[in-house]
Every structure is written in C-alpha cells, then in structure tokens.
Structure 1
Amino acid sequence: MSALKDRLREDLTTAIKARDDLRSSTIRMVLTAITNAEVAGKEQVQLSDDDIVGLLSTEAKKRREAATAFEDGGRTEMAAKERAELEVITEYLPQQLSDVEISELIAAAIVKVGAAGEGMKAMGKVMGVVTPQVKGRADGAAVAAEVRRQLAS
C-alpha cells in the first residue's frame, strides 16, 4: 500500500468529519482516479507513490485548463471552484521546481547528451533525460518551452 494513498484516505476521513465539502469531494475524486487506474487493463495493479504523483499532476493540469476555459467563457464561479480543487490537489504534489532550477536541469541535460549546437534535432534526447527528473515537479509544457529556448540559442 502506498503512503500517499493512505494519507489521502486519512485526509478524506478528516475532511468528512470537518464537513469540508470541497476538500472531501476533491479527495474522493482523486481516490476514484487512483482506483480506476489500478483496475484499468487486464489485471489489477497497485500504484506506487510515483504513479500517484503522476496521476495527481494530470488532475492538476486538468483543473488549470478547466479554470482557464471557464474564465475565457465568463464563468468565474466555475473557474473559482476549479482553482480551489487545484489548491487541494497541489498539497499532495512534491514541491514545484522554480524556473531557475528547471533551466539548470535542462542545461545539465544538454551537456550530458552532448546536444549543444545540434539545435531542435536534439529535443527528444534532452526531453528524455529531463522528463524523469521533473516528473510531478514541473509543468511539461513549461519544460519543453525552456528546452526549445536553450537549444535555439
């Protein structure tokens, strides 16, 4: 059993007892997504903490995108709800990397794979090294944009 999944279950119980509807519904949604991921496929699996962090990152990204879409559509109350759910989900994610830390990781990866001067052809090689290092700790689109920027210069 994963420690993160246990923590989510304990926090769900606490939120229900405190009658915190937003928190309890958000944690329920996350636990349901975890269960669905575990039973998907031909045989049931137990997700590790890393797998759960990946799933939480996906759920957080969904909330960010939905909040933006609701804002663009003039539905501010729905956007606020999505942002509130995002805050709850973010509590279970590892500390996010700063732009400087992301930039340093990418620079080190470029040196490691010898991609300096190759330009955009090396994008896949660099992303292959960087992605496992930033998983759950940075937005993939932001990382890809920084890789493009560094490879172009």
Structure 2
Amino acid sequence: MGMGHKMDLRTKISTDLKQAMKDKAADRLSTLRLINAAIKDKDIDARASGADEGVAESDILAILGKMAKQRADSARVYEEGGRLDLAEREQAEIAVIEEFLPKQLSDEEAAAAVEAAVVEVGADSIRDMGKVMGALKAKYTGQMDFGAVGPMVKDRLCS
C-alpha cells in the first residue's frame, strides 16, 4: 500500500492542538498537550544521545500506542471499580490518541502478519523470535500490540 505522504504526525498534532485552542475544546486540548509533551520528552532524550533532530515518525507512533494502552488499562481498572465517569474520561483520551494512529490490525490480520513475517525472515525455531518481532515492528509499529503478538509468534515457532 502506497502511503501518499500526508502531513507528518508531528505537524498534524500541533495543527490539531492550535485548532482545539481556537475551539476551546478543553478535554481534547489537554490530551493533545499530553501527547505533545510525551513527544518533546523523547525528542530531548534523542538529542541528548546525539540525534540531530527529534524522534522519528515510528517513535511517535510507539509513544502514541503506549499512551493508548496505558489509558485502556486504567479504563479497565476504573470500570471494574465502578468508576464509570473516570473510565469514560480515559476512553475519551484514547479516542483522541487513536486519531493519530493507523488503523489497528484485527486478530486475523495480526495472525496473517505474524505468518508472513515468519516466512519472510525464514524463522524455524524460537531462536528466531527476535528476528520475527523485528520484522513486525518495522512494518506495524502503532498498528499492533507487540505484547500480545509475542505469544502468537512463540506459539507459531514452537509448533
């Protein structure tokens, strides 16, 4: 699939942030500020370790994926504790974060991606797990939960 080069993520996030200010969309604005802050932190780390510019698009996707996952975990805890108001706030933040993430792969698509990566790197034992995960990360960062994919890769290589 050719990605026609849309506006890069960084630009899209700051454009949306300015728009949220104009719209006085307080909740949206606070989530966008959190995203921006997380990216800036990573930029600072990257420069400290000698990178010329800030983090790459793939790093931003990883940051967004992590933020969405943390909020999904919190929402689950709140729901179990009967705090639906708090759970809803987490869900609202996830919705904003997900606007910047590519569509998440379904379970079937993830399984097919694992299969393709196994074939692509010629993996034939659990020792090749790192190679398979590397191939998946190169292609699907931000689109799949690698924590959940690990066991799938392990099953596939152990069978």
1:60 matched residue in structure 2: 68
CA–CA distance in structure 1, aligned partners of residues 44 and 135 of structure 2: 30
Q: Which sits farther off after the overlay, 69-78 or 18-27?
A: 69-78
Sequence identity of aligned pairs in percent?
Answer: 37
CA–CA distance in structure 2, aligned partners of residues 52 and 68 of structure 1: 24
1:123 matched residue in structure 2: 129
CA–CA distance in structure 2, aligned partners of residues 124 and 138 of structure 1: 16
CA–CA distance in structure 2, aligned partners of residues 81 and 141 of structure 1: 24
Q: What is the count of residue pairs matched by the alignment?
A: 150
Structure 2 residue 23 is matched with structure 1 residue 23: no
2:42 matched residue in structure 1: 37
1:50 matched residue in structure 2: 58
Structure 2 residue identity aligned to 1:145: P
The list of structure 1 runs, each at least 4 consecutive aligned residues, that deviate by more than 4 angstroms after superposition, is none
Structure 2 residue identity aligned to 1:137: Q
TM-score when normalising by structure 1: 0.85
Identify which of 9, 13, 32 aligns with 1:8: 13
1:103 matched residue in structure 2: 111
CA–CA distance in structure 1, aligned partners of residues 133 and 45 of structure 2: 28
Identify which of 62, 70, 80 aligns with 1:72: 80
SS of corresponding position for 1:97: coil
Q: Which runs of 5+ in 1 are unaligned?
A: none
Give runs of aligned pairs for residues 132-151 of structure 1, distance below 5 A. Answer: 132-151=138-157
Shift in CA distance, 90/114, structure 1 to aligned 2, threshold 3 Å: same
CA–CA distance in structure 1, aligned partners of residues 99 and 12 of structure 2: 11
CA–CA distance in structure 2, aligned partners of residues 94 and 105 of structure 1: 15
8 Å contact from structure 2 (residues 42, 54) kept in 1: no
SS of corresponding position for 2:101: coil
Q: Which sits farther off after the overlay, 49-58 or 35-44?
A: 35-44
TM-score when normalising by structure 2: 0.82
1:94 matched residue in structure 2: 102
CA–CA distance in structure 1, aligned partners of residues 14 and 119 of structure 2: 43
- C-alpha deviation, 1:146, in angstroms: 2.1
